Amino acid sequence: MSDPLLLPFQLGAMTIKNRIVSTCHAPALAEDGMPKERYQLYHLEKAKGGIGMTMIGGSSCVSPDSPSVFGQLDVSSDRMIPYFREFAERIHKEDCRIVCQISHLGRRTTWNDGDWLPVIAPSRVREPAHRGFPKVMDHSDIKRVIGDYVAAARRMRDAGLDGVEILQNAHLPGQFLSPDTNLRDDVEFSSKAGNIDKATSYGVKLKSNIRMGFIGVPDAVIGLGYIYENTKSLDQFTGLIRKFPRKSDHTFNFNFRHDITDIGLSYGAEGKFRSDTITQDINYYWPWNPGKEFKLFAEYNIIDGIKLRAEASQNGRFNGTSTNYKYNDHIKFNDLKTKAVKNHHFAREFQISLQGTF
Ligand SMILES: Cc1cc2nc3c(=O)[nH]c(=O)nc-3n(C[C@H](O)[C@H](O)[C@H](O)COP(=O)(O)O)c2cc1C
């Protein structure tokens, strides 16, 4: 018995008799969403064979808006308790631990199953595998789904299981954690319970405006600005320190305006450069490209109080090509579905307006 594989393992408060585990999967043996005889016997055989822990219920569904689309167990109501209790007793008799994986699939599920409810996700980013457009979760959805996870975990405890596993990865928790699928700006980085333990942000903001009298043009003003912002947060799951999503470290801006009051004409230009910005459309999201924006304008006083303004702007977030890889399932399975190479061009806008002040 010196083989480490056969030595006991301490996982939190739980001792497992050896290190042989059957990991979570949905074996398509559920009947009516419940682990009945066939499902239980499938795991019981492994327990009889001597494994230390069996993890049942791959992606078991905690909420009605995450229906059982590939034969997962339904743990969203107390209906499951008697089946799970019987299951746990059977497995425990073989001196084996039993843990269930619980999950909400978020944008990874489909709407046309179960109760035909809308697919929900942190943001409206289309899911490549099932191709649904998710509804953005509002605050009541977030509270409700957190409550559903808690209720499912409580049911497992009441049924006598040894624990639950929360699938993060591409499911709802992972969709909140990834800047690819969470584009929300309502996430509060405050020190509320359950939120991020540690986050820091520091930087400098410099601003200057100079009237250009020193070169004989006192009606012209030039302004320059620079913002440096260093943001860091502690990822409580991985323990890694990383920057806030979608925050630019460096932002430069300039503006110039010249009022030639004698002839009633003003003109000017503005520009902004960011070291990090995002490009996104309904399917794609490329963070961290340098970005720039320019604006030119001219205003002419036709008569007192009425002026004609022409404006041209260029939003140059990204110009060039980018490559985006999409996988059928998980990237680790390396089943590449499409490789999208996109050409991006600056967006340009022209505007002519007549403005009156009365
Ligand atoms: C059909 C099938 C369904 C699976 N479903 C899940 C799942 O719902 N949740 C999960 O975390 N892993 C799931 N997995 C991954 C397995 O738990 C396991 O990590 C993976 O198969 C690698 O282990 P192996 O090399 O022993 O197969 C699934 C795997 C298979 C083959």
What does the pLDDT profile of the chain (358 residues) look like in tens digits? 689 999 999 988 899 999 999 999 999 899 999 999 999 999 999 999 999 999 999 999 999 999 998 899 999 999 999 999 999 999 999 999 999 999 999 999 988 888 899 999 999 999 888 788 999 998 889 989 999 999 999 999 999 999 999 999 889 999 998 888 988 876 544 444 445 678 888 999 999 999 998 888 889 999 999 999 898 888 767 778 888 766 788 999 999 999 998 898 999 999 998 887 765 555 555 555 667 888 999 999 998 889 999 999 987 656 677 777 777 766 666 777 788 787 777 778 899 999 887 7
Q: Are residues 217 and 138 in the same domain?
A: no
Phi, psi dihedral angles at 88 (to 5 degrees):
-60, -40
pLDDT at 242: 81
Which residues, other chains included, contact 187 with Cβ-Cβ below 8 Å and sequence gap of 6+?
A: none
Look up tokens 């929300």; give the residue.
184
* Residues within 6 Å of ligand 1 by CB: 23-26, 58-59, 101, 167
Report CA(27)–ligand 1 centroid distance (Å): 10
Q: Are residues 16 and 54 in the same domain?
A: yes
What pLDDT does 319 receive? 67
Please give the DSSP secondary-structure letter assigned to residue 236: T
**Is residue 34 in a domain?**
yes
Element (H, E) at 59: strand 53-61
Based on the domain organization, do 204 and 171 belong to the same domain? no
Measured from the Cα of 27, ligand 1's closest atom is: 1
Tell me if 154 is assigned to some domain: yes
Per-residue model confidence (pLDDT) at position 335: 74
Decide if 190 is inside a domain. Answer: no
Residue 182 resides in a domain: no
Can you give the pLDDT at residue 82?
96
Question: Exposed/middle/buried for 318, CB within 10 Å: 0-12, 13-18, 19+?
Answer: buried
Name the active-site residue from 25, 92, 171, 258: 171
Strands 135-136 and 120-121: parallel
d(CA 97, CA 91) in angstroms, rounded, equals 7
Distances (CA, A) of 12 to 1, 16, 236, 326: 23, 10, 17, 37
For residue 40, being part of any structural domain is answered with yes
Based on the structure, what is the number of domains in the chain? Answer: 2
Distance CA 239, CA 317 (A): 32
Which ranges constitute the DSSP H helices of 50-129?
81-93
Owning domain of residue 310: 199-356
Tell me which of 20, 23, 53, 165 to substitute to probe ligand 1's pocket, judged by most ligand atoms within 8 Å of the beta carbon: 23
8 with 128, same domain: the answer is: yes
User: Is 61 domain-assigned?
Assistant: yes
- Which pLDDT value is given to residue 172? 95
In angstroms, rounded to a whole number, what is the distance separating the alpha carbons of residues 41 and 90?
9
Q: Is 166 exposed, middle or buried (0-12, 13-18, 19+ CB in 10 A)?
A: middle
- Are both 30 and 156 inside the same structural domain? yes
Nearest CA to ligand 1 atom 13: 25
Q: Are residues 158 and 218 in the same domain?
A: no
240 Cβ neighbours under 8 A, 6+ residues apart:
234
- Rounded to 5 degrees, what are φ and ψ at 177? -80, -25
Cα–Cα distance for residue pair 100/165, rounded to 1 Å: 6
| Gap between the Cα atoms of 113 and 132, Å rounded | 13
Residue 107 near residue 127, CB atoms below 8 Å? yes
* Domain finish residue from 177, 208, 239: 177
Element spanning 239, H or E: none
* 22 and 169 co-located in one domain: yes
- The rounded Å distance from CA 291 to ligand 1 centre is 41
- Model pTM? 0.58
Q: What is the pLDDT of residue 318?
A: 61
Identify whether 262 is part of a domain: yes
Residues, the chain, total?
Answer: 358
Q: Is residue 77 part of a domain?
A: yes
Identify the CA nearest to 317 among candidates 269, 243, 267, 246.
Answer: 246
Closest Cα to atom 19 of ligand 1? 23
3-state secondary structure of 332: helix
- Ligand 1 atom closest to Cα of 167? 11
User: Does residue 245 share a domain with residue 208?
Assistant: yes
> Is the distance from CB of 181 to CB of 122 less than 8 angstroms?
yes
- 163 DSSP β-pair partners: 99
- What residues contact 76, with CB distance under 8 A and at least 6 apart? 61, 62, 63, 64, 148, 151, 152
Residues 138 and 214 in one domain: no
Q: Are residues 164 and 281 in the same domain?
A: no
* Whether residue 130 lies in the annotated active site: no
CATH code for the domain of 91:
3.20.20.70
Are 280 and 171 in the same domain?
Answer: no
Task: Judge if 116 and 226 occupy the same domain.
Answer: no
